[in-house]
Amino acid sequence: MQQPSLAMPPLPTRPEEVPGIFGWFQRMREGHPVALDAGFGSPSWHVFRYDDVVRVLTDHAHFSSRVPAFEYGPVSDTKLAKDPPDHRKLRSLVNLAFTPRAVARLSDRVAELCERLLDRVRDTGEMDLISAVAAPLPAQVICEMLGVPESDWDAVLGWWRLDGPRGATPMRAYFSDLLETRRRSPRDDLFSALSAAEVDGQRLSERELLNFCNLLFLAGHLTTRNLIANFFLTLSDHPDDQTRLTRQPELIPTAVEEVLRVLPPVWFLMRRTTEDVEVGGVRIPAGQTVICWPASANRDATQFPDPDRFDATREPNRHLGFGHGIHFCVGAPLSRLEAAVALPMLLEQLEDVRVTRERPIGIRAGIVFNITNLPVTFRPY
């Protein structure tokens, strides 16, 4: 098949630009579902249709997770940058962190932490939802899971804000010391479990453990932060749905899945071809970067009837908002739990909460879709 070069528009930086990129995704699915981008020195191939995205994310023999972009930074030496069978060792740590029991017992604590954050703002009538609730809540929950003493939370979160996803020297050194402390004096927390964890009879290296803690902090924090923000930004365009969900909070879990479909936290993922391979009728040479777009696949009409319509009751909903396959987002179970607890509380306790679209709302889109600030108003308590 003759393959045209990609002419990709900029990713959105403001909410009003989001519909434009989704319109472009539709044109690519219909006309050029696999497209070459030769504009950044080395070629990359972009994949837009649902079935093709699933193929790339599950065919590990042809599409490796060992991409150059993952060689350094927060995901190096983590499960995100590994293929089977090496991936299995680090996946076992995810299972250790997110057992059903470990996640379920956090429910009451999530509610307590969310209540504390709401106590600070409920009489003000306005706030930035990101800085007031969406960012601190999941970060505090991750600290709780890991076993970071509450007296140290502000320091850890300060390092995170300073160093960002790199999780650089201060936080890494702190985690290393805490792991050693838990080896000597175990407690009922994740650091203690990790410090004694074995896979196939072997302890994990210090580097593997610290990289996993960094990944857990990254994934567990960003997924919930963005889900809460995306939920309210989406509902700002659907006020009738917000009213209905306020009156019927039992519908919120289904609505959350629809938010994950129409405005997912993970927009694209990268793989590298291990040999020549054909996708969507297009031959991709070995050693090439493949960028697949769950944000596009989630609006594929072959999978989702009337895909551009937000339907808070849509079922089934096989979206790819958290990725797919063995690299499914490690923070997804925790994010769903936190959303199930926090979103009804926000809708109930912040009466008539509304996104203030007249004020600037910033977006930083890449692999992850980040809303940087989200001003809201509500009736003071």
pLDDT for residue 215:
78
Characterize the bridge pairing of strands 363-365 and 369-371: antiparallel
Contact assessment for residue 308 and residue 22, using Cβ atoms and an 8 Å cutoff:
yes
User: What confidence tens digit (pLDDT) does each residue in 31-40 have?
Assistant: 999 999 876 5
Tokens 């308590």 belong to residue: 381
d(Cα 271, Cα 293) in Å, to the nearest integer?
11
Peptide bond into 85 cis (omega under 30): yes
Closest among 101, 176, 181 to 145, alpha carbons compared: 101
User: What confidence tens digit (pLDDT) does each residue in 319-358 have?
Assistant: 999 988 776 777 788 899 999 999 999 999 999 999 999 9
pLDDT for residue 106:
87
Q: Which two tokens stand for residue 142?
A: 């991750």
Polymer length of the chain: 381
Name the maximum alpha-carbon separation found in the chain: 63
Contact assessment for residue 237 and residue 344, using Cβ atoms and an 8 Å cutoff:
no
- Bridge-partner residues for 81, per DSSP? none
pLDDT for residue 162:
61
pTM, two decimals, is: 0.91
pLDDT for residue 62:
95
Q: Which two tokens stand for residue 191?
A: 């650091």
pLDDT for residue 227:
95
d(Cα 125, Cα 378) in Å, to the nearest integer?
5
d(Cα 284, Cα 273) in Å, to the nearest integer?
8
Closest among 241, 261, 253 to 317, alpha carbons compared: 261
Chain Cα centroid distance, residue 75: 14
pLDDT for residue 77:
52
pLDDT for residue 334:
86
Contact assessment for residue 378 and residue 352, using Cβ atoms and an 8 Å cutoff:
yes
- The residues of the chain scoring below 50 in pLDDT are 1-2, 72, 164-165, 167
Q: Which two tokens stand for residue 64?
A: 């490796």
pLDDT for residue 84:
60
Contact assessment for residue 7 and residue 27, using Cβ atoms and an 8 Å cutoff:
no
d(Cα 219, Cα 217) in Å, to the nearest integer?
6
Characterize the bridge pairing of strands 354-355 and 363-365: unpaired
Domains, in order of start, for the chain? 15-377 (1.10.630.10)
To which H or E segment does residue 273 belong?
strand 269-273
pLDDT for residue 2:
46
pLDDT for residue 202:
74
